[in-house]
Amino acid sequence: MRDVPQRVVSVKNPASPVYPLNIVKTCTSCHANAAFMRTYNPSLPVDQLDKYRTSVHGARNAKGDPKVAQCASCHGSHDILSAKDTKSSVYPVNIPSTCAHCHSDAAKMKEYKIPTDQFDKFSKSVHGVALLQKHDIGAPACNSCHGNHAATPPGITSVSKVCGTCHALNADLFSASPHKKAFDDRKLPECETCHGNHEIIIATNKLLGVTSEAVCSRCHNQSQNVKGFAAASAMRGLIDSLDAAEQKAIALVDDAEQKGMEISEAKYKLREAHQARLQSRTMVHAFNEPRFREVATKGLVVSAAVNQEATEALDEYVFRRVGLGLATLVITILAIALYIYIRRLERRQALGGK
């Protein structure tokens, strides 16, 4: 058996530099050394250790728990690749499965009393579909909300701030809305109260209103929070009307265009209607019916104008078709009459010649 340097010991040995409780110190002997990292890659941060110690993982690791995530858990050991490499375990599309390696393991999570369905829920969410199926690396992954080295479960007050980094306008509207104080008083999380956290579904009109499937109906009904109930009902009616008006306008414009009519101006106006519908969805977060009505009404007015222009174009098409049909009929009758007249002349000439 070959002689092995004494410092090389099993990873399971607490004296090993790659033992779970020691590996952070081993990695940061370089990665937390600013002078060394500057000579290697000045762009790499050197505060990973400080951040890690503030995380739940780091705090437990420091207390002697060898089971929690440390450097190698996420980055690998001998197969460490750049985060920009598509094969890296910390490439955006791969991060959910990297986290799920532990967090979807019921046996590992049992001790910490942490649920293990996060990955399954995330995979079905609008974020998960965008990231995992469409490979949109701009979509949120686990670390987008929980952080990287300073990973921590977002609390009630912090998660909305995380959402607001991407959905800034929605967050600003909510912060100025009457729901802000109401949510704070009841200690309700802001964004995820309506949208959820890991299993965030696509926002549709069904979330708004007073039906059983609408999130508004969880707090508002005809006997409790009546003002909000009435506002939610009115807003749902407006946005449904706006959707229907836009779809009708699109169908009429498409029909006119397929029939060869000049409809470019109406098509351009359709963009305004579409933009108004998008703005109305955003304006929902202000929970202010007058402001919402103003945006929705603008879209309804534009849609009505497009409907009228498209209808007029279709009427003109019908008029042209009818006119062409009548003209064709008159020309046909004249042609037949001329033919008959010529035939008669020919017969007369033939008889006169005899």
Residue 202 per-residue DSSP state: P
pTM of the model: 0.78
The answer to whether 140 and 127 are in contact (CB under 8 A) is yes
Residue type, 258: Q
Q: What pLDDT, on a 0 to 100 scale, did the predictor assign at position 164?
A: 87
Q: Work out the mean pLDDT of the chain and round it to a whole number.
A: 90
Q: Residues 329-346: pLDDT tens digits?
A: 889 999 999 988 888 888
Q: What pLDDT, on a 0 to 100 scale, did the predictor assign at position 7?
A: 65
Q: What pLDDT, on a 0 to 100 scale, did the predictor assign at position 353?
A: 57
Give domain limits for the chain.
154-196, 226-322
Superfamily of domain 226-322, CATH level 4 = Butyryl-CoA Dehydrogenase, subunit A, domain 3 (1.20.140.10)
3-state secondary structure 36-98: HHHHHCCCCCCCHHHHHHHCHHHHHHHCCCCCCCCHHHHHCCCCCCCCCCCCCCCCCCCHHHH
Please compute the mean of the pLDDT values over residues 84-101 and round it to a whole number: 96
Maximum Cα–Cα distance across the chain:
136
Please compute the mean of the pLDDT values over residues 227-252 and round it to a whole number: 94
- Least confident residue range of 157-161, 323-327, 336-340: 157-161
Q: What pLDDT, on a 0 to 100 scale, did the predictor assign at position 306?
A: 93
Give the pLDDT band of residue 225 (cuts 50, 70, 90).
confident
Q: What is the DSSP string of 257-302?
A: HHTT---HHHHHHHHHHHHHHHHHHHHGGG--HHHHHHHHHHHHHH
